[in-house]
Amino acid sequence: MLKFADKFADKFKDKFTDAIQSFFSPVYEEDEDEVFELPLDESGKLIRPMGTVRRVEHRFRTVRNNTVISPDRLELDDEARALLEIAKAVRDKAYCRYSGFAVGAALVAGSGQVYLGVNMENASYPAGLCAERAAFASAISAGEREFTAIAICGGNEDEPCYPCGICRQVLAEFCGPDFPVILSDGIYPLGGLLPHAFQL
């Protein structure tokens, strides 16, 4: 039984080594026929030297262009501008000592009450909290469950501060796809910012 286990382990080790070798693209200066050996340290742990990992081609491209105008975007009206001013004012209270990127959010509940939120950073980055979620936490703690709009202001006032993916999902938990998200360049429907929200 022990011999069988040893043979199985050797066979698995060979396949694993082959798979690792196929991932690397060795660079040879002179001899193209030189046998490539895995770069292992004294304990047998794999070392990945800079420049040896093969580049994998892909078809998708990530394009970041904040100047694209969405056909679903509406122009700002007086009410939206007023809510943006509130978000801009509360933004000064943000705790962002690490990034320096202050964000303020003003959330209007169905009751008409406006709940405020700012981003709160932490030395342990995942422990931070976005302004949008801070506003929602305040509103939910007060018993609110219906909301009519949110305004977000952050960074450069001339550029829209789009909510992050997590915040969009939190918005979708309580708000429908036509929920207005007010940014510096217009009013966006939530469904346009998060077309396929996760649901249970």
Active site residues: 132
Strand blocks (E) in 25-146: 103-109, 114-118
Q: How far is CA 104 from CA 112, 133, 170, 196, in A?
A: 19, 11, 16, 26
What is the distance in angstroms between the CA of the first residue and the CA of the last residue of the chain?
48
Q: Which residue has the tokens 């396929």?
A: 196
Q: Which residues contact 160 (CB under 8 A, 6 or more apart)?
A: 66, 183, 184, 185, 186
Number of H helices, E strands in the chain: 5, 5
Distant-in-sequence contacts of 193-198, Cβ < 8 A, 24+ apart: 193/162, 193/163, 193/168, 194/165, 194/168, 194/169, 197/168, 197/169, 197/172, 198/169, 198/172
**Distance between CA atoms of 90 and 100, rounded to whole angstroms?**
15
